[in-house]
Amino acid sequence: MASLEWFCAPRCYHVVKNYLHGQATQEHPLKQQTVNVTVAENNPLSLALALEGTDPLSKFARQDQELNDPLTQMSTQFSKRGNINEPEDNTLNWSTRRLGILNRFTTNEKLSLSTSFLCTSSAEGGGDNFKAQTVVADKVKYRLEQLDNFDDGSMRHMMDLTQQEYIQRFDQLKQELIQSWHNDQRVKALKIAIQCAKMLSDTSVLQFYPSQYILITDILDVFGKLVYERLRIKAEGAPGASAAVLQREREAARDTCQNWFYKIASIRELLPRLYLEMAIFKCYGLLAATQKEVEQVLLRLTSQLRGIADPLVSSYARCYLVRVGVPVTSSKVYIRDNFTDLFIIYPQIFRIVARYNLHPEIISAGAYLQLYSPAFDYMLQCLVHESELNAQEMLKECRHLKNNGAILLSILNSSKGEFVAAHAHEFLELINNCDTPGISKSQLLRPLGSCVSNCAPLQEQRLAFLNAAFQTINTLTDPNEYINCVETWTPFVAQYFTIHEVNRLLGELNSRMCLGKAYEKHYGQLQSILTRIMQNYRNIELLLIQPHFLPYLDLFHKESVRVEMCKSILSYYRQNSEDRTSDAVVTNALMYLGKILNDSVNALTVEDERRQISQLINSFINKVHFGKDLEQQLSFYVEGRGTFSNLDAVYVTLVHAALKLTMYASNRQGVKSLGFVKACIAYCFITIPSITSVQQKMDLYLLCGQLALRHLCLGQADACFEAALQLIDELPASTVDFEGKPRCMERYLVAYICNMLATLIVVPDSPEQGVLYFLRLLLDIVGRRNFKANSSAPSIIYLHVLDMLYVQSMERFPYHIDGVVSNDALYGHDPKFLVEVNNLCGQVVESILLQLKTLGAAQQQRTQAQLSMELFMRIVRYADLEREPLCQLAVKLWILANKAQAQLDTETIPQTLCSVEHFYKLVKDSSPVRAQTIAKLLLRMRDS
């Protein structure tokens, strides 16, 4: 194949940019518009009337937005509440404590259950037959038969149940009770409730009793609700009934209500009788004329509860009484009386504690006292709620009570933070004097620390209180108790005191936890302490420079824990620190933390972990700023390069930061500034090869070369461009994206080479390398690279090379860099230079024609036609069509594209024809000879 002779045509026209004119608007163009449809009002099928003028999709979107609006949700929930007779304050709502008790009090022991109602068939009860009976005598007879069927002789004893099986049996009993009630088997439902209440006297598995209480009282609550709802509906009567009928209905409901209480009063055993009466206590609202009568009933029940001997069972029974009383009355006299009775039997609790101290295999003294805490906490919270006087009275009685640890603990758990803060010294004195078996001082100090952390004492009292508290905490010899106390008190120290107290706290922790290597067993608490300090002490930079901060990190000898802690510290620094820091001590501390994270990265580290660590380190690198001291800033980057050698993303950040320094330095004048710029570029040139990713290295070399060119460092720019081009050989054909899918790199390579060619336009030739050295190197590398079969990437690259070569043939380039003498000024449009450019153009066109031949052999007509059209337009614009071979080549390309017209878009051929006509108009006045040649070409195009 004879080589093609190419001749570049000089540009004889001016390019005029057509700017778009702005237009003022009142609405954002992307704002969603509402379409209103106007139709006749008498049209019953009008969509606009049905949807209020909004299209269906907009209406659904508006509904979703309303549902997702938190204020709308809150308003909806508030409107649904209605007039429910429950305490408004959620702190007195027992249901919020239920799940916590079930999770806290568990057991591995086997449980037993006695009932006569599980696994019974519905036919036994005869509920369906009962519904058909209407005679009163038959109804009484049927219920007597029910009592005979459910006598105590039919009890079934289930032994060796696991906790999960035990819970499932109670769920079955609850469903059985509900089903019996809806089947009009009231007696059966009552018997189920009685048998469940009897089980509350069983304390064989002590550590499970609070959870057992929850399960059984759930059933009693359901029973009480069913009874109350039935009586309420009966009392309200039928809608629209007369006053006389409504009065009869109310009287009947009162009689039925009294009948229920009479039935329950006939129960022989005390415990189920009391629990059943408390379960339906809400029904007294239908009988009592005044609130005082309800309060008298509560006082009577309080007196009856004195008959329960077991203090644990008695405490939870009193708790249930308070539960049913709080929604009904605001009086707290009965609660106060319950505590008076509890204080009478309180010494009996510690006689039992002494017994379990002799037999710790059953239950420990501390665990036994913990069983009382849910009941005591709830009763105390109900008593002191919105009543500081009651809280003061309880605190006064607690002072005179022997072994007052359990009550004091409940007071701390139940009282508001303001009350505890006002009496902080008094509480601390009580804790110091407390010597309750089974209740350690650390158990009392922890809730006190939580309270003062949320609401601190007065400013003038805080320091004395803190010193007194830690004087007590430091007397704890058990490391576990000590670290748990300090963990709770940490927010108080960090939030209300200066950095000196925080530093002293860290120093005391260092001293105590190093004794006997206690830190090895308490990594979780040590992490929590430091996290709480950072959460409450916002000045993270001041914390980093404290003498005891970094030694505290040395307590984390386990590498995984230390790494997590360093990540946490850097994360808090990223969120809460100032935008910039120049403190050398802070910088050294951050470098120390970053080095720990960098050293934890190895070949087995997953990519997501690398990314997280890199982001944390990059965040503080970007915040370190030494102002006008650019040399110190570069020294910091040099230190960072040596410290973070395992993280490519950090190296990328360091390179970008150093390149940014060159722009700061360019504002300074003098030789010193130029030398600093060269040092920054040299730093980047040395750092980039350490990065693993070829793609990142190519991008950074190109950016580094562009900035070197911007600062007139031509030698360094040439070195960067050459290194970037040499890396193309190492670029893989495909890579794996973050989703694990392969991604072809040809599109990236085409975009990268286009960027490179745009830069090389203004790069002057080096006298040592020859004419257009970088472009020749690029063509050589592209020619060697193995692209995918039938890929259009090399053709696109060659077309852009042709664009770049045509710019090189121009007398003046369209853009320049200040101070850089580009090839247009360097060669001065020398004929020898133009011959070199034309020869390269010919080689490029031949390569494109070879690609066209290959595509034709592979039956890729569409790609071949598109490439033919692109080359045709470049020949028309760039080549001297007065040369017959070039004109014939243009015609052949046009014919080749027309052959595959069916494969192209319908507008491609007409648009190309219009483009040639437009180009003819551009050159018609400035170059008549060239215009005549184009006109002839247009005729041949139309003929073909």
Residue 84 has what pLDDT?
39
313: its two tokens = 């069972």
CB 353 within 8 A of CB 437: yes
Distances (CA, A) of 459 to 462, 491, 754, 861: 6, 16, 68, 86
Residue 36 has what pLDDT?
52
Provide the percentage of residues in the chain whose pLDDT is more than 70. Answer: 87
Residue 112 has pLDDT above 90, yes or no: no
Residue 136 has what pLDDT?
46
Question: What confidence tier does 363 reach under pLDDT thresholds 50, 70, 90?
Answer: confident
Residue 204 has what pLDDT?
87
Instruction: Residue 453: name the closest of 502, 492, 418 by CA.
Output: 492
- Dump pLDDT digits (tens) for 776-804: 999 999 999 888 887 888 999 999 999 99
User: What stretches of 580-730 adopt beta strand conformation (E)?
Assistant: none
H-run or E-run covering 546 = none
- Dump pLDDT digits (tens) for 89-103: 567 888 888 899 999
- Dump pLDDT digits (tens) for 531-582: 999 988 878 889 999 999 999 999 999 999 999 999 999 999 998 887 788 8
Residue 149 has pLDDT above 80, yes or no: no
Residue 587 has what pLDDT?
93
Residue 21 has pLDDT above 90, yes or no: no
CB 375 within 8 A of CB 315: yes
- Dump pLDDT digits (tens) for 644-685: 999 999 999 999 999 999 988 876 655 568 889 999 999 999
161: its two tokens = 């149940």
In sequence order, the 6+-apart residues with CB closer than 8 A to the CB of 767 are none
Residue 153 has what pLDDT?
45
Alpha helices (runs of H) in 2-93, residue ranges in sequence order: 47-50, 56-68, 70-81
Q: 256 or 3: which carries more pLDDT confidence?
A: 256
Residue 646 has what pLDDT?
92
The answer to which of 29-33, 331-335, 867-871, 891-895 has the lowest mean pLDDT is 29-33
Residue 88 has what pLDDT?
47
CB 562 within 8 A of CB 523: no
155 beta partners? none
Distances (CA, A) of 733 to 501, 688, 860: 60, 21, 22
- Dump pLDDT digits (tens) for 244-275: 888 888 888 899 999 999 999 999 999 999 99
Q: Residue by residue, what is the 3-state secondary structure of 552-620?
A: HHCCCCCHHHHHHHHHHHHHHHHHHCCCCECCHHHHHHHHHHHHHHHHCCCCCCCHHHHHHHHHHHHHH
Question: How many C-beta neighbours within 10 Å does residue 554 have?
Answer: 11
Residue 78 has pLDDT above 80, yes or no: no
- Dump pLDDT digits (tens) for 35-69: 554 444 444 444 443 444 445 555 555 555 444 45
Instruction: Residue 827: name the closest of 777, 880, 764, 879 by CA.
Output: 764
Distances (CA, A) of 849 to 9, 653, 903: 20, 43, 20
Residue 15 has pLDDT above 80, yes or no: no
Residue 424 has pLDDT above 50, yes or no: yes
- Every domain of the chain and the residues it spans: 416-543, 881-943
Residue 332 has pLDDT above 50, yes or no: yes
Q: Widest CA span of the chain, in angstroms?
A: 128
Task: Tell me the CA end-to-end span of the chain in Å, nearest whole number.
Answer: 26
The C-alpha atoms of residue 540 and residue 526 are separated, in whole angstroms, by 18
Residue-by-residue DSSP string for 510-544: HHHHHGGGGGGG-HHHHHHHHHHHHHH---HHHHH
In sequence order, the 6+-apart residues with CB closer than 8 A to the CB of 842 are 3, 4, 5, 6
- Dump pLDDT digits (tens) for 179-198: 999 998 999 999 999 999 99
Residue 324 has pLDDT above 60, yes or no: yes
Residue 125 has what pLDDT?
39
Residue 668 has what pLDDT?
67
Q: What are phi and psi of 478, to 5 degrees?
A: -75, 120
- Dump pLDDT digits (tens) for 293-309: 999 999 999 999 999 99
Residue 653 has what pLDDT?
95
The answer to which of 125-129, 222-226, 684-688 has the lowest mean pLDDT is 125-129
Residue 861 has what pLDDT?
86
Residue 361 has pLDDT above 80, yes or no: no
- Dump pLDDT digits (tens) for 484-511: 999 999 999 999 999 999 999 999 999 9
Residue 32 has what pLDDT?
64
At residue 390, what is the residue type? N
Residue 341 has what pLDDT?
93
- Dump pLDDT digits (tens) for 216-252: 999 999 999 999 999 988 888 777 777 888 888 888 8
Query: Which residue is listed with tokens 């060669």?
Result: 827
- Dump pLDDT digits (tens) for 812-857: 998 899 989 999 898 888 889 999 999 999 999 999 999 888 888 8
